[in-house]
Amino acid sequence: MFSKRLIPIFILYAILGIFGNQSIAQNTNDVLRLAMPGLGTGGRALGMGNSYIGVSDDASASYFNPAGLGLIKRMEFSGGLDYYRFHNNATLFGNSTEYANSSTQINQLAFVFPFPTLRGSLVFGISYNHQSNLVSALNFDGFNSGNNSQIQYLTARNNDLVYDLLLSFPVYDQNNNYLYDSTIIQGKLNQEGLRLNSGDIHTWALSGAIEIYKNLFIGGTLNIISGEFNSNYDYYEDDILRIYDNVQTDPTISTTKGFQSFYLNSLMNWDISGWDLKLGLLYQINKIARVGATIQFPKTFTVKEKYSVDGSSTFKSGVVYLPEPGDYESIVEYDILTPFVLSAGTSVNYMGFLLSGEFSLTDYSQSEFKNPRNIAQRDIADMNKDIKNTLGTALNYNVGLEYTIPNLGLRVRGGYFTQKSAYKNDPSDFNKNFLTGGAGFLVDETVSVDLTYLHGWWNDYTENYGFNLSRVKQKISVDKLMLSFSYRF
């Protein structure tokens, strides 16, 4: 399970020495950032736990099941706004630290227009959908009493950055042949980190549906994807016990006496583009029940990545060592291909109650990196092998309930859904769980306003380096508040 929570990405760059050459530091987390499902679009759907494949009778059908657009008989305009908050309670060596990050964005803008037909239906839609939120946060601070550190871990791999910061030095044999790098640092350091991630993935969608037989609808959505992801990571190792006050980290340089602090900063930016296709089927049974199914074809993402690492070392004398500007920068480009997603759902409408349920099946081991630019093909092949070895199949499910209060036009909703961990043999507390609830007014089957709340929770961890040497355990929760409306005319 180690490869699941790999060391923060800037450490990977440093370890692999990519600066100035063509190695890769991408990992399975990068694939899952794009392959894992988002939290959906549309207030009514979210209020029912995104259990909407067997409902899909409004503009949100373009996202959940495009065949459902065929049920719409009048033109519809809809939109929505949501607030998202990510909260992380992180623990390192028994010390807990809380941190949060948030964002507000337009969730949906959609226009649906049915075409007149002699029988059946023909409906098209154009929409903007907010697909995924990439906001997250992490803050940790703890004293590592062990005989290990990031400095030692990087030195053991002959890393250039710690050498440039005079935290390691070369060792030679008696014939003056280079052997390896070494360091006098032997652990007992305070370790602190702060990470802020931001960004999102959104789509412009063209959808269509047709009734091919009485009460049987098929439809499709073509999505043009764009987005961005930004990460800012700070990492510190400090000698708070003053263990190294009287030794030099480089035996030949006197100003390296009295090591105090090691600092790393990484900045990463993704420019994301791509496309995907979803096909759907929906059958209505006597206006009481519906059965639907969808096929999400693999999404193709192109990622243009800019990456830079900076750092410093500080000593008792007040001297601070820095790397040369621009020495540790990288610009690469690659594609990420996500797997097929097969989904099916149903809904039953009886005496004002609308009950829905669905499941989806995703084999994340089918994800892959493709078409590398400025990255060695061999490294891409190794990364794809790691995906095959560590990722598995996830079966997710959603359930939802809506009740319409007679004569008031008020609809109340609740739902629950899961997003199972993509990693093989993960315990259940690493699965993402979500509870949703909300209410909405529907006036004369024309105007609707919906307010929805979501709460989610799961566990995770991050390795600062090595395996279980400096592990940050995380208890994560998310909250989302969505306001949406629609008008049919």
2 band by pLDDT with thresholds 50, 70 and 90:
very low
Residue 441 lies in a domain: yes
Check pLDDT > 80 for residue 1.
Answer: no
**How many independent structural domains does the chain possess?**
1
Check pLDDT > 60 for residue 7.
Answer: no
pLDDT tens digits for range 383-414: 999 999 999 999 999 999 999 998 888 999 99
Residue closest to 244 by CA, chosen among 292, 303, 305, 313: 313
Residue 174 lies in a domain: yes
- In this structure, what token pair is assigned to residue 68? 């459902």
- What φ, ψ does residue 2 adopt, rounded to 5°? -60, -45
Residue 242 lies in a domain: no
Q: What is the pLDDT of residue 376?
A: 86
Residue 241 lies in a domain: no
Q: What is the pLDDT of residue 26?
A: 63
Residue 187 lies in a domain: no
- What φ, ψ does residue 207 adopt, rounded to 5°? -125, 155
Among 66-70, 283-287, 399-403, the minimum mean pLDDT is found in 283-287
| Half-sphere exposure for 122 (CA within 13 Å, toward CB) | 5
Q: What is the pLDDT of residue 375?
A: 87
For the packed helices 28-35 and 377-390, what is the interaxial angle rounded to 10 degrees?
Answer: 70
What does pLDDT average to over the chain?
92
Mean pLDDT for the stretch of residues 154-175: 94
Q: What is the pLDDT of residue 120?
A: 87
Residue 258 lies in a domain: no
C-alpha–C-alpha distance, residues 136 and 431, integer Å: 17
Check pLDDT > 60 for residue 22.
Answer: no
Check pLDDT > 90 for residue 81.
Answer: yes
Residue 22: alpha-carbon gap to chain centroid:
26
Q: How many other C-beta atoms can be found within 10 angstroms of the C-beta atom of residue 79? A: 19
Residue 212 lies in a domain: yes
Residue 237 lies in a domain: no
pLDDT tens digits for range 340-359: 999 999 999 999 999 999 99
Residue closest to 213 by CA, chosen among 346, 67, 3, 339: 67
Domain coverage including residue 306: 2-182+194-231+266-488
Among 8-17, 106-115, 197-206, 361-370, the minimum mean pLDDT is found in 8-17
* CATH number of the domain enclosing 224: 2.40.160.60
Among 239-243, 436-440, 441-445, 452-456, the minimum mean pLDDT is found in 441-445
Residue closest to 288 by CA, chosen among 351, 356, 355, 350: 350
pLDDT tens digits for range 134-154: 999 999 999 999 999 999 999
Contact between 91 and 75 under an 8 Å Cβ cutoff? The reply is no
